[in-house]
A and B are shown apart, each in its own frame.
Chain A
């Protein structure tokens, strides 16, 4: 599975949009982009995933560039509860490869 690069840490003001970048320049055509987050002392939580089109759900939006070499997770109105480590993961989606390989992630701190 392709490697991802994320900033180590970011701050965002409460109520503003948090934009978390992820670089996956070696991504292949059949690899999905997944985002998870881990709030302190909890298990990771699925946020969103996509292949090539932008995706939106009740938690966030995922913007994938046209060449698919990078993506951005957007939390539209960040709250203090969004303080967490955010993991960007790419995975070839086929039966028998359901596991996820976690990188070091971005530690997002929401500032009051």
Chain B
């Protein structure tokens, strides 16, 4: 298993500002994933972050809006840039445990973002 810590756990931000969310894992992992969960909705994958390479973004998400850093095997950040109220969501970091082909994902508790 993996223990994932996210900071901040929640924040209230003003429109037009940016917020960086941190994800710290208690073990080295190759792949980290960032998900978004809008109010009352299911989870949507934003991007996959591998150490030493650029993040791979899913359709509908772009690097300029959601830049990601992955400086080492235990840490990643997601920035939500130029925020608008539509960005109000829970942002979740997850990592793969076990074997790459059949392992399960472990999730952090999420960062609840409210944009005014």
Knowing A98-B31, A102-B42, A102-B43, say if A43 contacts B107 (CB, 8 Å): yes
The SS class assigned to the B binding surface is strand
Q: Which of A43, A94, A99 contacts B109 (CB 8 A)?
A: A43
Q: Which of B35, B44, B96, B108 contacts A98 (CB 8 A)?
A: B96
Contact-residue bracket for chain A:
20 to 34
A49:B43 contact, CB within 8 angstroms = no
Chain B nearest CB from A21 CB (Å) reads: 18
B100:A44 contact, CB within 8 angstroms = no
A103:B42 contact, CB within 8 angstroms = yes
B103:A98 contact, CB within 8 angstroms = yes
A87:B42 contact, CB within 8 angstroms = yes
Chain A nearest CB from B65 CB (Å) reads: 19
Task: Tell me the nearest residue of chain B to A43, going by C-beta.
Answer: B107
Chain B residue numbers with a CB within 8 Å of A104 are 42
Task: Tell me the nearest residue of chain B to A95, going by C-beta.
Answer: B100
Query: Is B62 in the interface zone, CB < 8 Å from A?
Result: no
B42:A93 contact, CB within 8 angstroms = no
Chain B residue numbers with a CB within 8 Å of A41 are 110
Query: Is A45 in the interface zone, CB < 8 Å from B?
Result: yes
12 other contacts beyond A32-B102, A44-B105, A102-B42, with CB at 8 A cut-off? A41-B110, A42-B110, A43-B107, A43-B108, A44-B43, A45-B107, A49-B104, A93-B102, A98-B101, A99-B33, A102-B43, A102-B44
Q: Which residues of B contact A (CB under 8 A)?
A: 4, 31, 33, 35, 42-45, 48, 92, 94, 96-97, 100-110
Sample of 17 A–B contacts (CB below 8 Å): A36-B105, A43-B4, A43-B108, A43-B110, A44-B43, A44-B105, A44-B107, A46-B97, A46-B104, A46-B106, A93-B102, A95-B101, A98-B31, A98-B103, A102-B35, A102-B43, A103-B42
